[in-house]
Structure 1
C-alpha cells in the first residue's frame, strides 16, 4: 500500500503518474502580523498600493500572452484584473492599516478573512467558489508584499504540478506542455481551477487537505482524478494497477468522445435532451465538443461578479446574443440573478444577513432590486430574437413571487414595444424547483409557466436540512433518499399533467446510478457539466425505458436510503461495469447502516 493517501475533489477526470513539483507553497510564507508607529501609516499604505499595482500589471501582461490552448480563460484573467482594480478590497485593507496601525500584510489578511467569512455562509457552491477569485487576487498581492519570487521553470521532463492554488495567469508563466496533471490545496468543483484543468484536458484534483505538508518536490505520486485520490510513494502493485487503469480510461474517453454527437436515445426510442450548465460564453466550445444539445442552465451571475462596475444592458445583451447565436438552433436557458451580486466586495452588506442561504437571494433579490432585474430582463428579451432563448426564475417559493416576476417581465415587454425594440413575444418562461414549498405546489405552479428545471443540489439540502459542505453531516446528503425520489417524481408528474416539460440540473443528473431512475420518471431532459455529457449519453444509449421504469418501481417500494442505494448499485453496476468504473458517484459510499 502507499505510504500516504490524500483526498480531494476531482474536477478533471483522468489518471497520471509522475514526479511532483511544487509552486506557490503558501505554508512557507511568514506574514508579519505586527503593529507599526503611526507616522509610518502613510508609508505602509503606499506599500500596499504599490503591491496592488505590481499585481495589476502582472495580470495585464498575462492577459496579453494568453496562448491558444487557454484563450477561453482570458475572461477569467479579466475577472481577476477587475477584482484587483476594485477599490473596495484595497480601501478595506488601507482602512485596517490606518485604524489599527498594522502592517500591510496583516491588514490585507484581515480584509480577506472578513470577506471569506461572509461567503462561507452562502449555501450555493458556485457563489462560494467565486470567493476563491477574491482569495487568488489577495494571495497575489500578499506575494508582492512579502517578496515571493515567481515560479521557477519546471525541472526537466513532464511533472505533476502541486500548488496552493493555480490560475490561468500562473499557468501562462509555466510551460504547459510539461504539466501532466495538477493538484491544489484550494478550489472547489465550480472554481476556475477546475475549468482551467478541463480546458487543458489534464487530470486535476482540488481542495486537497494537507497537500503542502505531505508532498515534497520529486516525490513519486499517482493522481487518481476519477476518485479524488493522491498516492504518495506508491507500491509496485499500485503503480502496475494504475498504469493499466490510465490506459483503460484513455481508451474509454476516446470511444465516448467519438460517439458524443449521437442522440441521447434509448434502445427503444426514448429520447431526452442532454444540455450543459455553464457560466461563461467561452465554455460553449466545451459544450459543442462534448455533444451538448444546448445550455440548460446559464448562470448569469458571472457578469455581475467580475466587472469593475455594474454591467449595463448593452453588455448583457451582447453576452446573451453571443450565446444564442453560437448555439442556435440549440436552446439557451438564461437564469436570472441568483445572488446579490452588486455587493461582491461590500463586506458590511454581505454580513447583514445571519443566514444568506435562506435570505435575500434568487428571485427575492430581483424583486427587491427591480432596476437590476428589469435591466437584465430587457437584455434577455432583446437577445431572444437571435436564437432559442428561454428565461428561468430561481428560488421560487410560491405563486405570489412567480406572478410578481411575470408582471415585471410583461412590463418590460411593453417598454420594448414602445421603444420599437424587437424580442420574441412568446419567449418560454420557466422556474427552478429547488425549495420544498415549490415541490408541494408544483401542480399549481405548472399552470403558470412553460417549463420546470429541478435544481437537485439545493432541493436535497433544503429538504433534508443539511449542509453538504459540513463534514459532520455531509453523509446525510443522500440523492436517493425516499423523500427526494418522491419529490422529483411528483414535480415531473405535475409538469406533464399540465403539458409542460420538466428537466433536472444538478449533480444527480450526471450520476450514472441516478440517471436511469430519472428516466424511469420520464424526465424530459438533464443539464450537466459539459465534460460529463459524453459518458452519460453513452449510458442512455445502452438502456431501455422498460428497465428504467422497473428500477424506479423497485426504488419506490423501499423506505430506507441504504436499501435503495444497495439495490441501485447492484443493478446498475451489473449493467454498466466498464462505464461505472470510471465514475465517482454520489451514492457509491453509504455511511449509514440501517436495519
Structure 2
C-alpha cells in the first residue's frame, strides 16, 4: 500500500508516475499589527505600491510567454486587472484607515470578504474565480514583506510539479516539456490550472488536501487524474497496476482522438451536433482539435470580472468578432450575462440579497441594467457579421421576460440599421430552459424563439431544491430523478411540436449514463466541455437509436431514482464496459 493516498479534484484526465517537485510557494503567515493613526496614509501608499509592482511583474511575465502558450496570455491580463480592482485594493485601504491595521492584515481581510461574496454565486465557474483573487493577493503579500515573487525553479528532469497554487504567470515560465503532471493544494474544477493543463494535455489534480504536509521534494508519487488521487510512495503492485492503466488510457485517448472529427452519428444513422461549452477565446484550439461542431455555449461573464469598470462595446465586439471568425463556419452561441451586479460590476452598488441564487441575476439583471445589456447586444450583433452566431437569453422564467428582452434586441437592431453597421439580421435567438416555470410553459415559449438550450445543472437544482455544492445535501443531486427525466422529455417534445431545435448543456449531456436517455428523446444537439467531446462522440457512434428509445420507455415507466439508476447502469455496463473504465472519470469537467 502507498504511504498515503490523498484526495483531490481531477481537472485534466490522465495518469503520471514520477518524482514530486515542489515550487515552495505555500502561503505565508500574515502579519497582524496595529499601526498608529497617523501612519494610515503611508501604509495605504505601501499597499498601492506593492499592487503596482505586482502588476508590473505580471506584465513582464505576459510579455515573455512562450509562443506555444501565447493563447493563454489573456489569463495574466485578468490578474493584472485584479491588482487595480477597487473591491480589493480600495477595500483594504479603507480597512487600514478605519481599523488602524497594517496593510498585510487589511489585504487579508479584504480577500476573505470577497471570498464570502463569491461563495454565494451559483455558477461554479464564476464562484471559483476567487482563486484568482487569492493568487494575486499572495503576490502582493510577498511584495509587502519586502521580497519579490521568487521565480519557480526550473527542474533538471521530468517531474510531477506540485504547489500550494499555480498561477498562470508561474506555469507559463516553466519548460512544460519537463512537466508530467500538476498537483496543487488550491483550485477547483474550473481553475486556470485546469484550463492550462487540459490545453497542454497534462494530467492535473487540484484542491488536494494535506498535499504540502504529506509530500516532499523527490518523493515518488502517482497522479491519478482519472479519479482525483495522489498516491505517495506507492508499492510495487500499485506501480505495476498504474503503469498498465497509464498505458491503456493513453492508447484509448489516441484511439478516440483519431475518430473525433467523424460525425456524431449512431449505428442506425441518427445524427446530432456535439458542441463545446467555453468561456475564453483561448480555448478555441481545444474545441477544434476535439472535433466539436461549434460552440453551443459561450459564457460571456469572464470579460466583466475583476475590472474597475465594465468593458466597452468595442472591447466586447473585438472579443466576440475574434471568436466568431476563428470558429467560422461553425456556429457560436453567445449567452448574455448570467451573473448579478454585486458579483460582477465594480461600479454597481452591493446588493444585500439574502439568497442571490434566487435574486437579481442573469436576464433579470440585464433588464434592470439596460445600459449594460444593450452594450452587449450591440457587440454580439456586430460580431455576427464575422461568422455564424446565435444569441441565448439565460434564466427566462416566463413570456413577459422573454418579450422584454426581444423588444430591447429589436431596438438595438434598429439602431445598428440607422448607423449602417453590418450584422446578421437572421441570427437565431434562443433561451435557456433551466427553471421549472419555463418547463411548464415550454410550448408557449417555443413559439417565441428559434431554439432551446436546456441548462440541466440549474434545472436539477431548482427542481429538486438542493445546492449540489452543499456537502450536506449533495447526495440528492440526481440527474436521473424521474422528475428531471420527465421535465427534459416534456421540453424536447414541446420544442419539436413547434418546429424548433433543442440542445442539452451541462453535466447530464456529458454523462455516458444519461446520454442514451437523451438520444432516446431525439435531442438535436449537446454542448459539453471540450475535453469530453472525443469520448462522448466515440460512445455515441457505437450506440443504437432504437435501443436508446427502448431504454427511455423503461426509464419513463419507473418512479424512483434507485430503479432508474439500476436499469441504466446495467444497460451501459453491458454495452460499454471498456469505455466506462476511463470515461466515467471525466464526467465532472463541465459546469
- Name whichever of 530-539 and 421-430 sits farther off: 421-430
| Secondary structure class of the residue paired with 2:172 | helix
Q: Distance in 2 between matches of 1:295 and 1:489?
A: 23
Cα distance in structure 1, aligned partners of 2:71 and 2:578: 32
Distance 1:166 1:475 in 2: 31
Give the Å deviation of 1:144: 2.1
> How many angstroms apart in 2 are the aligned matches of 1:295 and 1:341?
26
Shift of 1:176: 2.0
Counterparts of 1:136-147 in structure 2, within 5 Å, are: 136-146=135-145, 147=147
SS of 1:110's equivalent in the other structure is helix
State the match for 1:290 in structure 2.
Answer: 290
Counterpart Cα distance in 2 of 1:340 and 1:560: 36
Report the Cα offset of residue 467 of structure 1.
1.1
Query: Shift of residue 151 of structure 1?
Result: 4.4
Counterpart in 2 of 1:258? 258
How many angstroms apart in 2 are the aligned matches of 1:269 and 1:366?
Answer: 42
Counterparts of 1:387 and 1:347, CA distance in 2 = 32
Task: String of CA shifts for 1:452-485, please: whole Å, max 9, x gaps.
Answer: 0001111111111111111111111111111111
Residue 452 in 1 paired to residue 452 in 2?
yes
After TM superposition, give the deviation of residue 351 of structure 1 in Å.
5.3
Range moving further from structure 2, 113-122 or 35-44: 35-44
Map 1:282-321 → 2, pairs under 5 A: 282-321=282-321
For 2:547, the equivalent position in structure 1 comes to 547
Gaps of 5+ in 1: 589-595
Q: TM-score, normalised by structure 1?
A: 0.95
Please give the alpha-carbon distance, in whole angstroms, between the structure 1 residues aligned to 2:6 and 2:109: 30
Secondary structure of the equivalent of 1:579? helix
Q: What is the deviation of 1:537? A: 0.5
- Once residues 413 and 333 of structure 1 are traced to their aligned partners in structure 2, the CA distance between those partners, rounded to angstroms, is 18
Q: TM-score, normalised by structure 2?
A: 0.96
Give the deviation of 1:402 after TM superposition: 0.4
Matches of 1:192 and 1:298, distance apart in 2: 17
Between 554-563 and 508-517, the greater mean CA deviation after superposition: 554-563
Q: Which moved more, 1:261-270 or 1:151-160?
A: 151-160
Cα displacement (A) at 1:563 = 2.1
**Contact preservation (8 Å) 1:512, 1:585:** no
Q: Distance in 1 between matches of 2:458 and 2:211?
A: 30
Moved more, 62-71 or 496-505: 62-71
Whether 2:115 is the aligned partner of 1:116: answer yes
Q: Give 5+ residue unaligned stretches, structure 2.
A: none
Contact 1:305 1:341 in 2 (8 A): no
Report how many residues are paired: 587
Q: Does 1:530 align with 2:530?
A: yes
Give the C-alpha shift of residue 127 in structure 1: 1.2
1:63 and 2:62 correspond: yes
Aligned counterpart, 2:216? 216
For residue 339 of structure 2, give the secondary structure of its aligned residue in structure 1: coil
CA contact (8 A) 2:342 2:348 kept: no
Preserved CA contact (<8 Å) 1:115 1:345: no
Matches within 5 A, 1:90-489: 90-146=89-145, 147=147, 150-340=150-340, 344=344, 346=346, 349-350=349-350, 352-489=352-489
SS in structure 2 at match of 1:502: strand
Evaluate the alpha carbon distance shift between residue 159 and residue 341 of structure 1 in structure 2; reply closer, same or farther with a 3 A threshold: farther
Q: Is the 8 A contact 2:155 2:178 kept in 1?
A: no
Contact 1:59/1:77 (<8 A) preserved = yes
The structure-2 alpha-carbon separation of the partners of 1:394 and 1:276, relative to structure 1 and needing over 3 Å to count, comes to: same
Q: Give, in whole Å, the separation in 2 of the partners of 1:308 and 1:180.
A: 38
- Whether contact under 8 Å (2:121, 2:356) holds in the other structure is yes
- 1:522-547, Cα deviation, whole Å (9 max, x unpaired): 11000011111111001111111011
Distance in 2, matches of 1:494 and 1:328, equals 30
SS at match of 2:583: coil
Query: Is the contact between residue 455 and residue 506 of structure 1 (CA under 8 Å) also seen in structure 2?
Result: yes
Larger deviation, residues 136-145 vs 442-451: 136-145
CA distance in 2 between partners of 1:75 and 1:253 (Å) = 29
CA contact (8 A) 2:8 2:205 kept: yes
